[in-house]
Structure 1
Amino acid sequence: MSIAPLLRDSSVERPDKICYEPSAEPDPEAQEYLIYFITGNPGLISYYQPFLSRLHRLLTSSSSTEAARFHICGHSLKGFEFSKDDENAKLPKRPLSLAEQIVFQEDLLYKHIRSHRKRTGNTPKVILMGHSVGAYILLELIRNHGDKIDEGEEDFDLIGGVLLFPTITHIAKSPLGMIASKILSIPYFPVLMGILAKSLSSLLPTNLFHQLVKLVTKFPEYAAQPTTAFIKSPMGVRQALHLAKDEMDTITEDKWDTEIWGAATAEGTNNRDTINSNLTMYWGQKDKWVADHTRDALIKARGRRTYGPEMEPWKPVMLRDEEGMPHDFCTTYENSNKVAEKVKIWVDDIIRNHKRAIS
């Protein structure tokens, strides 16, 4: 498998983006799929390298997707760039809000699609994937996509979404959310902590500070390295805390209508696309960033029934983990591989459901 960027001006060596493309030459008989991944907070795409790499290998070697070519891409959220010396990073002068992160990710998604069209002459079918607050951003991108179609703007087939450990309602009511909301309400807390993090990290040589990070976090090298760079970065800590505060204030009630959740099209079809019948959500068993009662209420109100006379195939599949998988699954090789194996199955299901819907 080769690793190559979808965008002409990108490089996989840069820590703010990861892109995998098929190693084989384009096949006119194969369907092209773009899986666009949106990170959680802190928004460092480097944490997800083992997960996305494993997922790409599973999809490209799958006998059930022989006639498909998979492109997987993801970017760090804006403001989490590591070095102000990187001319391509275009570091923001202030931390970005959740709404601004949504716009940033949407712009990147459309750039990938336009670049793909220019290089290949065709438009890939798109599957969105998000972790934690990235799942909230994912749902907003789905809503914006529908609005763009209604307004006659550029269209593409958005055929499904996978939401991993989603924090999409009432995050402030979660065990850690209740603590974080109180701390983050302290005036200028993100600014002060950003200054403190840079000051303390500058007291030690980088190598020694990195070893301290590994000791405290117990992260493997692939996760410890971006954590060290994140703490020492010009804006990282401040951006993460600013975004976290905005999450507490913004992520409250279920804000999406029946077009997103699928209830508006009980036959499992949609005159715009089939996204509403192709959402899979995967919650942790004891996720400290998700309150059990808010999760269960959302599953009851919006989830697909998988038994009884009313199967409701137009609604999202909502699954609860039974293996004790942690919210930060992406910080170990073992959990990254396990989640990738699950996601591969869900992606195959999305593709099969989409083919069934348009046949």
Structure 2
Amino acid sequence: MEDMGADSRDVPHTDFIYCGGAATEVLKFGSVKLHPGHKILFLIIPGNPGVVGFYTTFMQTLHSMFNYRHPVWALSHAGHCAPPDSMDMIEESSLAADADVFGLDSQIKHKLSFLRKHVPRETSLVLIGHSIGCYIILEMMKLDPELKVVKAVLLFPTIERMAQTPQGKVMTPVLCYMRYIAYLPVFLLSLLPESLKSILITLVLGGIRSLDVTVVKPAVSLLSGDCAANAMYMGSQEMRKVWGRDNVTIQENLGKLIFYYGASDHWCPVQYYQDIKRDFPHGHIRLCDKGFRHAFVLDAGRDVARMVSEWIHGDLKT
């Protein structure tokens, strides 16, 4: 790709809205509002933390690969964004506690609510999930089988046995039993000036040779305190709830699904790829041969977007 910054269509638009009772960030390339004439929307469902800014380069590349014809949006998880000063994190505190708005089940309903309110029903969807976003997409397709999904691309999918994975065995005690201890250092970091937060994030990520500099700002936003706490809370539920693979939903939608597993992914081991490949031999299920990390947005967003566009290009010819 040529100079990605040379076209004004590469400039994203950001909206902050209340959805499902919680502050939500929507990052948009292309049309900022959809009308019934829009045939296709790309919608990114992020991993955890669900900060849409991490996906800027990935989205920008996808938008350009399809000649800017289709809007590409990313929807944050409820409460994972740092809202502007004019907004609270939750719309009504009394309802938030009852509805568990930051929990995993509510995050699924949050995405369906967004589609109902902001996307015309006749608009076809290309859903792209990353990590727990893949689980959320499968749940969305199960809960609303009438969604007009053309393709659902599941990148580094954490859709089963999360607590049994190498990373899950480390993180389950932290997220489920020691989460409140972790809140203190996050709170202390939130008190630092933004410039110092940026320096710290850059130092932490400094070992990544081809680091995408666009991820630094969204990483800093996580240090607001509430965002990180909500992400950890959601993570604790992932460890407890993401267990058995939903073979029924996968079978019912197999022709729409593309799975992409990492070759050295501590959140979804190669064994999980081998298992699903055995159980669904006719599915579009791939194993990475390019060395991409689970958190591909840190250094390979552009490469993964190009790869995704090659997989689905034929399905979007209208």
Measured at CA, do residues 168 and 16 of structure 1 come closer, stay the same or move farther in structure 2, by a change above 3 Å? Answer: same
Deviation of 1:139 (Å): 0.5
Deviation of 1:8 (Å): 11
Residue of structure 1 in register with 2:196 after alignment: 208
Residue of structure 2 in register with 1:77 after alignment: 77
Residue of structure 2 in register with 1:52 after alignment: 59
| Cα distance in 1, alignment partners of residues 281 and 88 from structure 2 | 42
Report % sequence identity. 23
Pairs within 5 Å for 1:222-261: 222-233=214-225, 235-257=226-248, 260-261=250-251
Give the letter aligned to residue 117 of structure 2: K
| Cα distance in 1, alignment partners of residues 151 and 215 from structure 2 | 28
Mark the runs of 5 or more structure 1 residues left unpaired by the alignment.
Answer: 62-68, 118-122, 150-155, 263-274, 305-315
Tell whether the 8 Å contact from 1:173 to 1:291 is kept in structure 2 after alignment.
Answer: no
Residue of structure 1 in register with 2:3 after alignment: none
Measured at CA, do residues 303 and 161 of structure 1 come closer, stay the same or move farther in structure 2, by a change above 3 Å? Answer: farther
Residue of structure 2 in register with 1:192 after alignment: 181
Residue of structure 2 in register with 1:170 after alignment: 161
Residue of structure 1 in register with 2:27 after alignment: 18
Residue of structure 1 in register with 2:170 after alignment: 179
Q: Deviations over 1:149-172 (max 9, x none)?
A: 4xxxxxx52222100111011111
Measured at CA, do residues 225 and 7 of structure 1 come closer, stay the same or move farther in structure 2, by a change above 3 Å? Answer: closer
| Cα distance in 1, alignment partners of residues 90 and 39 from structure 2 | 31
Measured at CA, do residues 38 and 8 of structure 1 come closer, stay the same or move farther in structure 2, by a change above 3 Å? Answer: closer
| Cα distance in 2, alignment partners of residues 242 and 176 from structure 1 | 17
Give the TM-score of the pair, scaled to structure 2.
Answer: 0.83
Pairs within 5 Å for 1:240-319: 240-257=231-248, 260-262=250-252, 275-304=253-282, 316-319=283-286
Tell whether the 8 Å contact from 1:54 to 1:337 is kept in structure 2 after alignment.
Answer: yes
Give the paired residue count: 294
| Cα distance in 1, alignment partners of residues 119 and 13 from structure 2 | 13
Residue of structure 2 in register with 1:42 after alignment: 49
| Higher mean C-alpha displacement, 91-100 vs 129-138 | 91-100
**In structure 1, the residue corresponding to 2:119 is in which secondary structure?**
helix
Deviation of 1:277 (Å): 0.9
Q: Deviations over 1:80-99 (max 9, x none)?
A: 12146232754676671110
Measured at CA, do residues 220 and 127 of structure 1 come closer, stay the same or move farther in structure 2, by a change above 3 Å? Answer: closer
Instruction: Pick from 307, 317, 337 the counterpart of residue 302 of structure 2.
Output: 337
Tell whether the 8 Å contact from 1:142 to 1:260 is kept in structure 2 after alignment.
Answer: no
Give the TM-score of the pair, scaled to structure 1.
Answer: 0.74
Residue of structure 1 in register with 2:150 after alignment: 159
CA RMSD of superposed structures (Å): 2.9
Residue of structure 1 in register with 2:115 after alignment: 109
1:131 paired with 2:130, answer yes
**In structure 2, the residue corresponding to 1:323 is in which secondary structure?**
coil
Deviation of 1:112 (Å): 2.6
Measured at CA, do residues 8 and 137 of structure 1 come closer, stay the same or move farther in structure 2, by a change above 3 Å? Answer: closer
Q: Deviations over 1:3-22 (max 9, x none)?
A: 57698979xxx992211226
Deviation of 1:222 (Å): 1.7
Tell whether the 8 Å contact from 1:127 to 1:159 is kept in structure 2 after alignment.
Answer: yes
